Structures are given as structure tokens and as C-alpha cells.
Amino acid sequence: MSLGPGWRRAFRLPFTRPRTIERAVDDEFAFHLAMREETLRRQGMPPESARAAAVSRFGDPAAVRDECITIDQQYAREVRIMEWMESIWSDARYALRTMRRAPVFTAVAIVTLALGIGATSAMFSLVDGILLRPLPFPEPQRLFWFRQSYPEKGLADWTLSQENAAMYRDRATDFSAFAAFTSRGVTLGGERPERLTGELTTGQFFKVLGVSPMLGRAYTDEEDAPHKNSVAVLSYGFWQTHFGGDRRVLGHTIDIDGSPMTIIGVMPADFAFPRSDIQLWIPLGLDPSRRFGWFLSGIARLKPGVSVEHAHRQTAAIFREWARQAPGLLPPTTVPERTGLTTLITPLRERLTRDVERPLLILQAAVVLILLIAVANVATLQSSRAAFRSREIALRNVLGATSGRVARQLLTESISLALIGAALGGSIAALAVRAFTHSDAVSLPRVDEVGVDGRVFMFTLGVAVFAGLLFGLAPVLHTMGSRLSGDLAAGQRETSHRSIRRLNGALIIAQITLSVTLLISAGLVLKSFRRLLHTDLGFEPSGATAMSLPLPRQKYMNNSSAVPFMIAILDELRSIPDIRATALTSMVPFSGDVNSDGYLIEGHAPPSATGSETQVITMSVTPGYFHTMDIRLARGRDFTSADRAGTLPVTIVDEALARRYWPDGDAVGKRMRLTGDTTWLTIIGVAASVRDEDAAAEPRPHMYAPMAQAPWSRPLLVMRTAGDPAAALAATRRVIHRLEPDVPLDNVRPLSDYLGRALATRRLTEILLGSFAALAMTLAAVGIYGVMSLYVANRTREFGIRMAVGAEPRAVMRLVMREGTALAVAGIVIGVVGATFATRWLGSLLYDVSAHDPLVFVSLPLVLLAVAAASCYVPARRAATSDPLVALRAD
């Protein structure tokens, strides 16, 4: 048996204490002086002068003494450091030897820790990159997001019109800069027209964010006026791909949507606002006289020293002033201050991450639970081993190692294990995060800022050391408990084993508690997601494909030219056999591009008076849209080619609207109009309600207008194809190219893709939480199995005696099973109680599922109980089949 490093201490020279050093120097000098004095006396000098002569020959004893002490102290310090490093190294070497001697234990412990630490680090890198790290702009805490709110009208989150943007820009003096912006697909003209993702912004956009172009300049407020907006700032990526990073690009003119635009700047590579896919920024050409069209988002930079409250009061006052003058917005007698009408300013980071904050924190909490389960697992394994190692430790105590020294050795072992686990876990995390952030399925805000870097590394290291200390404590407490040499005497191990059993029992209960909590939370989220996927959306996403069909603005400015072109395209496409149905629409579900407007029903009071929701989602569609989307027409008829400009203005409403006004009767034949328009529209049909914004929310009312009567310059083509859409798409491209070579077919995506993106965060949460729960259950099962095996092994002697005196093997087996399941049941009961509290936190992640869903709360604990019982079974069988003779001989 190897002694380990503890024994060395017994032979250490008592050299390092300051007092010892001084005394040694004094002794040395005294010897010298005494010898000199003696020699002088022997040479005949009188004793009284011999002493003085010896001192004077020595020189300045005080100075020399100081010098020697200083040297010795430095030396002692160096020795201490060397010894310390040497002992750490030898502890670590000893730890590695110990690990090699127990390869199964070591492998299980390292894999367990690697999973726990890896999951924690990976989650942390997401949380850090998305939630914790400041936005990549100077003084990001001064950036605020603007939205307007008019809850009485159902407009909780109202975007800005151009008039709104101009008024904040000019009058919100609490801010040093204000900008409004909106994303828009634009067409880059040329031999092969190409679709680009552009951002239309007002003049101070870059000033608000505090980022200047790396090349050239940003545009000014003067260039952000109608018909003056003919400049563009490129993204770094676009500059590289389209201009090869040529610095002479400034002054170059490109054709955007048929108008020439001069390139005046290139942004730095890491600038990605509002999203990383933006290829160029163009001045919006802000027209302050445009009251309607609420499509802009607003951001602003707060002046230093101004409070958020003051800025909020100022912006709200500006908005109310505007509302007072906006015709028809407020009923004549209503005072804006008495309504909920206000401008809300939210810190930009909060706004960007609001949808993912809760899921991320829940997932982070889940991995912390997993880490704790992993730590508990390794702790049970460690402390069970400590029982077996108690003789070795006692021997080291006898040989002079203090219990503190032994404790350090055990902790070094634990931390070495944890560090190896962390190295492995960190690599897993790095790979996982890389795969994750490069995956198309993930659409999280700021995900391009996520990565495994120094911060994550430090976090992982911290977690590893913390975990090592945590599970290292179990064996240390045990050795501290078992005093010197007691365990050297064989056969006295039972007592210490009992304390280990108690500790392990507590750890098992803790593990099962954590697993139950995690399993139930995951179960609820999973069930919600299943419900959500099976929600009736009102249309059928699968088998349908959507693509944008941007008509050149110049050519198809007016209705008379656009409509025949659209009809021609649809007619051609319908003759392609692979295309079962096709139509044009202004919006596809879950594209996030919703247009809504106020409305008025003939013969009914304006809806604002009732306080109920007063907005309707408006869409322009061609005949065949409902058929293509598989939206049921409940009453009336679809649009036909006869519904065109000049004929009776018609509309189709959905059941959400029809039910509100005509709960019993028929909406067909009734008339309604939009608040911004004076034309009465006759309802000719009622379509099924459609969920197209949030699958988890009640559908909002819709009204559809025929595209020939309500033209739309950026229509989307939807088609339902038979089988693989690739052939149909190729044919579509050919048709469109033949009819209009300037129109690029762009953004081709299956309809289910839009829905998938809208559900991406939920899906992500579901997948991760589900796998975390599975991981937790596996770890808990491993833990139960490990502890029960050790428990049985420790009691082999007792079982042998029982069976020798006539106990049935089955009785022994029952005993083991009973003890094991008792631990499991205790853990499950506490876990279920814990879960009822934990699941409250899930809140918005739950859809159509109670936070106390009985099925989840009953079935999952039962599953875990079954797993626990199975984990006990093998050790229990081993106990029952043990040979009494062998058992009795076992030490």
C-alpha cells in the first residue's frame, strides 16, 4: 500500500517560524564569539579584554544579524512555497494513482461531472451572451425602446407612424438622439436582380447607437427626407461579398428598387442592429405629414443625468398632445390623460430579450439542478469509498499525517476529479454551443454574441472547484468523524458505515427530490408544447410554400398595371400540374408582418365606446387564397375575378369578427368600413378564424379584401404543391422570369417554417428541458444503483449471518428493496411538494395545462419510482444470492 504524501510532514525541519530563525542566528554567532574568545585567551590575552576583542574582530554583530535573518526568512518562504507546490503536486499524483486504482468509480464520476458541468457551462454561455453581457454599444444602459400604448383600443404595443417619429425626434429633449426604423426586403437591380434585407431608418439611427461606419460616413437628418433619401450604408458582410472589400466603393451607385443609391459608408463587421441579417441601411425619407401607417420601431439615447421617469413623462405628454389633435382617435369628450394612452420607454436590452429571459432562466435553473444531482451522485460514491478507505486513512494518521492534511488530500482528489470533469464538460459545452449557435433552427436574440470565452471558462472553473469542494466534503466529514487508529482494528467498521449510510440516504433523497422537480416541470412544459402543436390554427401549414414577389415599384406603381400582371402569373401557375392551388396575399401567418386598422360596422356604435378590441387585421388576397391555405369558408363565397376595381367593394370577414356582431344571424350582406377610409365594404363571406400571430393566444378578428380592390405592392405568393415542391418552384421561376425578368423570386419558405420560427423558443425550451429531465433521471438512477450496491456490499456479512441462521433469500431481498424504495418514496414526496412551488415559476411557458396537472404530477413520480425500484433490484438480488460462507469470511 502506498503511504501517500501525508507522512512527509513528520520529518519536516522546524525551520520556518520567525522565532526559530532568530534563535538559530543568535546561537550561531554566540558559538563563533565564544570560540574566538577562547582562542584569544589561549594565546594569552586577559579574559576581560578577550571578549571585547572577539566582538571587535567580528565587526558589527547587529547589522550582520539582521542581514542573516532577512536571508533566512526569504529562504524559509521559498522553501514553504516549494514544499506547498510539491505537496499539491504529490497530492495530485496520489489522487491520479487512486483514480487509476478505481477506474470504474473514476469513469462514472468524471462522466457524471462532465455532463453536469458541461450542461451548466453551455447554458451559462447562452445566459451570459444573451442576458448578462451589455449590448455591444457605448453606454448601452442609456438606450431605450419606444412604444405607444392605448390599452382601451387593444393596442398594448403600438408601433410608431412617421408623424409620431418626427414628433419624438423634434420634441423629446430628454434624449440626445432618436431614431425610428423598419426592416424591408429590397431589390438590388442588375443583370440578375437580387433580394436584400434592408433597414430603413431615420437620420439619427447611428448616432443613437453610438456606432460610426468603419469606412465613409453615416447619413444625416437632411438626407432622411422624402426624395432626398438616395444614399446607403452597407454592412461589412455585404461589402465583402458584393464589393470584395474594396475601399473605393464609396461614391459608387447601386440600383435599389429601381432608384439609384450612392454608397456613403460601410459599417464595422460586428455591427448587427436590429439583426445580423441586415445587408444595408437606407434613410427612410421621413415624411412628418404621414399620420397613418404604424410600422416603425423607435429607439433613443437618454441624455446623461436625466431620469427615466422624467423622460417617460415627457414622451407621454408629447404623445397625448398628438392624440388630442389626431382626428377620430379619441371620442370627442375624452381627455387623453384619463385614458391609458401613453408612450412607454423600455431599456433596449430588456426589450430585445424579453421573450427569452424566462425560458433561459428556467433552463439555467434546470441545469443547476442537474449539476447538484451530479454532485450528489459523486458525493455518495466518494463517501461510500471513504468507508472502504478508512483503514488507509487511519494508517496515514498513525504515520503522522494530521487529519487536516488527510482532509486536504481527499479534497485534492475531489477537485482533481472535478477539474477533469470540467475539462471534458467544457469541451462538450463548447461543441454544443457552437452547434447550437450555428444551427438555423435557433432564432434567439443576440445569439451571434454567444460563445465560449474567458468568462465562460472562468465560470466553468469556478463551478468545478465549487462542485469538487461540495462532493469532497462528504468523505472529509467522514474522516474527521472517525478518529485516529480506531479503524485500524478490523471489524470495527460497522459504526462508521452506519454514518455513511445515513449520509448516502440523505443524498439519495436529495437527488430524487431534485429529479422529481425537474421531471414534473419538464413534463408540464412538454405537455403544453404538444397541446400547442395540435391547436387548430384555422389553416393548414404543411404542404404549402410561400415566397415574396416584389413588383418593381416604378413599373407597377398603380393598380391598372399590377393587377393584370398578378392575374397573368396566377393563371400561368395554375396550369402547372404540380401546383394544386396558388394565390397572392399581403401577409402569411406567423410572418410577424401584421397590418391592423380600426373599423366601423354599419348600424353599430363605433367599437371604441365599448372598450372592447377595436382593431381588425386587414389583408389583401386574390381569389383562391382560402382554398390554397385550406381556410374553411363558413358562409358566403370567395372572391372572384369579377371583384375588381370599379365593381362593388367587397370583403370577407372571419368568424371572430362575425360572431362578435352577428352571433345568431348572418354577416353576409352587411356593410363595414375601415376608420381611415370612407368606402363601405359589403361582406360577401365568412371565413374560419385564423391564429396567425401567436399559436397560444385567442385569434384576433380579420377582414380580407380582394387584391384587385386593395392592391399591395409587395405581395406574397402562396402555393400548395403535390409532393416535393422543388419541381413546382422551378416551374414557377420559369413562368415569372418569362413574364417579368426584373422580379426576383425571393424568400422561398415552407409555411410551416414561419410557424416553426414563431415557436422556436418554445420548441427549444421543450427540447432542452426534456433532455435535461432525461439526464436528471439517468443520473438519479445511477446514483440509486451505486448507493444500493455499496449498501449491499457493506452488509454482506450481516446478510450472510441472516441466511446462515435460516432467513429466506427472498426475505433478504425484500429487506433491501424495502430500504431502497423507502428512500425513493421519501425523495418523491418531497420532490412533488417542491415541484408544486417550482412550477408556479413556469407561468407563461404553460399553455392549456394546469400548473398542477394531475396526470403529470402522478405519472412522472411513478415512473421515477419504477426506475428507483429497478436500480435496487440488481443489488437486492446479489444480496439474496450471496453465499453465507463466503459472506462470513468476507472482511
Partner 1 sequence: MADTESDLLRSSLDLLILKALTWGPMHGYGISEWIEGATQAVLLLEEGTLYPALHRLERRGWITAEWGVSDNNRKAKFYKLSTAGRAQFRAQAPVWHKHASAIAFALRRTSADLA
Binding site for partner 1 (CB under 8 A): 24-25, 27-29, 31-32, 34-36, 38, 57-61, 63-64, 67-68, 71-72, 74-75, 78
Minimum distance, C-beta of residue 16 to partner 1, in the bound complex (Å): 14
Minimum distance, C-beta of residue 404 to partner 1, in the bound complex (Å): 29
Sheet strands (E) in 45-166: 143-150, 155-158
| Burial zone of 31 (CB within 10 Å; 0-12 exposed, 13-18 middle, 19+ buried) | exposed
Q: Rounded distance, CA 284 to CA 166, Å?
A: 12
Report DSSP state, residue 250: T
Minimum distance, C-beta of residue 62 to partner 1, in the bound complex (Å): 10
Minimum distance, C-beta of residue 25 to partner 1, in the bound complex (Å): 8
Minimum distance, C-beta of residue 10 to partner 1, in the bound complex (Å): 18
Report DSSP state, residue 160: B
Minimum distance, C-beta of residue 51 to partner 1, in the bound complex (Å): 14
Please identify, using beta-carbon distances, which residue of 82 and 335 lies nearer to partner 1: 82
DSSP strand pairing (702-706 vs 297-302): unpaired
The set of long-range contacts for 645-649, using a CB threshold of 8 Å and a minimum separation of 24, is 645/559, 645/560, 645/563, 645/708, 645/709, 647/709, 648/682, 649/679, 649/680, 649/681, 649/682, 649/705, 649/709
CB 394 within 8 A of CB 406: no
Minimum distance, C-beta of residue 407 to partner 1, in the bound complex (Å): 32
Within 10 angstroms of residue 89's Cβ, the number of other Cβ atoms is 12
Minimum distance, C-beta of residue 417 to partner 1, in the bound complex (Å): 36
Q: Rounded distance, CA 841 to CA 734, Å?
A: 53
CB 12 within 8 A of CB 87: no
Please identify, using beta-carbon distances, which residue of 54 and 261 lies nearer to partner 1: 54
Per the listing, cell 428541458 goes with 769
Q: What are 477's three cell numbers?
A: 466529514
Closest CA to 137 of 37, 32, 201, 209: 209
Report DSSP state, residue 128: I
Please identify, using beta-carbon distances, which residue of 67 and 677 lies nearer to partner 1: 67
Please identify, using beta-carbon distances, which residue of 25 and 127 lies nearer to partner 1: 25
Residue 621 φ then ψ, to 5°: -135, 155
Helices (H), 244-328: 308-325
Please identify, using beta-carbon distances, which residue of 3 and 81 lies nearer to partner 1: 81
Please identify, using beta-carbon distances, which residue of 50 and 318 lies nearer to partner 1: 50
Within 10 angstroms of residue 226's Cβ, the number of other Cβ atoms is 13
Please identify, using beta-carbon distances, which residue of 67 and 350 lies nearer to partner 1: 67
Per the listing, cell 423570386 goes with 745
Q: Rounded distance, CA 24 to CA 345, Å?
A: 74
Minimum distance, C-beta of residue 31 to partner 1, in the bound complex (Å): 5
Please identify, using beta-carbon distances, which residue of 64 and 107 lies nearer to partner 1: 64
Q: What are 621's three cell numbers?
A: 388576397
Minimum distance, C-beta of residue 507 to partner 1, in the bound complex (Å): 49
Q: Rounded distance, CA 742 to CA 628, Å?
A: 26
Q: Rounded distance, CA 146 to CA 150, Å?
A: 14
Q: Rounded distance, CA 872 to CA 821, Å?
A: 8
Please identify, using beta-carbon distances, which residue of 37 and 199 lies nearer to partner 1: 37
Minimum distance, C-beta of residue 67 to partner 1, in the bound complex (Å): 4
Please identify, using beta-carbon distances, which residue of 58 and 841 lies nearer to partner 1: 58
Coil, helix or strand at residue 424: helix
Please identify, using beta-carbon distances, which residue of 39 and 402 lies nearer to partner 1: 39
Q: What are 858's three cell numbers?
A: 402522478
Minimum distance, C-beta of residue 18 to partner 1, in the bound complex (Å): 15
Minimum distance, C-beta of residue 87 to partner 1, in the bound complex (Å): 19
Minimum distance, C-beta of residue 11 to partner 1, in the bound complex (Å): 14
Please identify, using beta-carbon distances, which residue of 59 and 332 lies nearer to partner 1: 59
Please identify, using beta-carbon distances, which residue of 37 and 174 lies nearer to partner 1: 37
Please identify, using beta-carbon distances, which residue of 32 and 313 lies nearer to partner 1: 32
| Cβ-Cβ contacts under 8 Å for 769 (sequence gap 6 or more) | 362, 363, 366, 521, 522, 525, 526
Closest CA to 370 of 58, 718, 124: 124
